[in-house]
Amino acid sequence: MNNEQNEFKKNPLGVQIDLSKFELATEEEKAQQEVMSESTTFFKDGMKKLMKNPLAVFSIIMLCIIILAAVVGPAVIPYEYSEMISVNGRRDKTAKNLAPFEWSKNEQKVIDGGEKLFPHILGTDEQCRDYLVRVLYGTRVSLFVGFFAALLVLIIGLLYGSISGYMGGRVDLIMMRIVDIIYSLPDTLMVILLSVVLKSTLAPAIEGTQLAKLGVNMISLFIVFGLLYWVGMARLIRGQILSIKENEYVLAAQATGAKSGWIIRKHIIPNCLSVIFISTALQIPSAIFTESFLSFIGLGVQAPMPSLGSLANAAREGMQSYPHKLVIPAIVICLLVLSFNLLGDGLRDAFDPKLRR
């Protein structure tokens, strides 16, 4: 066969077929083709990268501990966040400002009598309330505000940004000018002003409804977030949609007759999902930051509900004698913000397509 082939003179312009290319593959050659790594999805690959990042793993563990403590802690400890310590059904006035693990005089008597009481691991505050429960509950409030505010920002930003990016033209121009203006508002001034206004105007409006349980301050906090903080997200999503819309595969899909619903579902959303997810994760610490700031200046959640900011603020008065009451909520705020920041950075390194190598 080979001899036969060699008899032909190689003509560079001819369409002679190299017959050796059509021989059957041996078993060995077939096996070579099968050496492939296990197929992996974008998500799996990202998670693998995330788990290799020690800072991200540290922050995940830290967040798990904090969330677990905030969720389980108040259920395990037999004191309520608004409950003043009482002994045998009577309010115990000696349980004021106890140091960590200290018993009040009345409690000491009960313990001497053979009963067992749950220790005040972080002592009590100036109104005879167990401080650990208050800190844990405050953490829960801060986390709740953080998650919910991030969700709110995501929803509003997603709707606004995708409408603006998808419509384009004049609608886009006007919508983005509005965003520009809101973006350049000095947010803290507006937040303070709006919380004061909402606090006093909302109270009668929501009285008696389900919302009243949350407290006016909490709701006004969310309204403020919904009004002011979505602009960054809206800009980001619009930018994403604009740049993805220009890609060749979208053009190809359009050329092959895909409907716009299909293009949005199959091409645009999956491609901007990771960026949206990451910036939502980074929104949480900034919401916690703002909430604790507002609570610190007395505009955050309503007493007796604690939040980390209001606990720190309340502890300022007795800071000379009871520094731990200031230090503990302060440390929890810092740990929360730090962990969420590190996690967000880790997620970005692992999932952002522009940073992947």
Partner 1 sequence: MAKYVVKRILLAVLTVLVISVITFFAMNAIPGGPFSGEKALSPEVERVLMERYNLDKPVPVQYFIYMRRLLQGDFGVSLKTGREISKTVFESFAVSARLGGMAAVVAVIIGVVMGSIAALNRNRWPDRLIIFLSTLATAVPSFVLATLLLLIFCIQLGWFPVFSTTNQNYVLPVIALSLYPMAYITRLTKTSMLDALGQDYVRTARAKGVPVVKVIFKHALRNALIPVITYVGPMLAYILTGSLVVENIFTIGGLGSKFVTGITNRDYPMIMATTIFLASLMVVMNLLSDLVYKLVDPRIKFD
List interacting residues with partner 1 (CB under 8 A). Answer: 177, 180-181, 184-190, 192-194, 196-197, 200-201, 285, 289, 292-293, 296-297, 309, 312, 316, 319-320, 323, 326-327, 330, 333-335, 337-338, 341-342
Smallest gap from residue 130 Cβ to partner 1 (A): 23
Q: Which is nearer to partner 1, 87 or 282 (CB)?
A: 282
Nearer to partner 1, 110 or 330 (CB): 330
Identify the three-state secondary structure at position 129: strand
Dihedral class, residue 87 (left if φ above 0, else alpha if ψ from -120 to 50, else beta): beta
Contact predicate 164/176, CB 8 Å: yes
Between 305 and 332, name the residue whose CB sits nearer to partner 1.
332
CB of 59 to partner 1, least distance (A): 11
Q: Strand locations in 100-235, DSSP E?
A: none
Q: How near is the Cβ of 125 to partner 1 at its closest, in Å?
A: 17
Shortest Å distance, C-beta 60 to partner 1? 16
**Smallest distance, Å, CB 323 to partner 1?**
6
- Residue 293 has a CB neighbour count (10 Å cut-off) of 16
Amino acid making up residue 241: I
Q: Which is nearer to partner 1, 74 or 344 (CB)?
A: 344
- Measuring CA to CA, how many Å separate 6 from each of 1, 76, 216? 9, 88, 92
d(CA 193, CA 185): 12
DSSP string, 37-99: PPP--HHHHHHHHHHH-HHHHHHHHHHHHHHHHHHHHHHHSS--TTPBPEETTEE-TT-SSPP
Between 31 and 174, CB nearer to partner 1: 174
Q: Minimum distance from CB of 33 to partner 1 (Å)?
A: 40
Closer CB to partner 1, 76 or 181, in the complex: 181
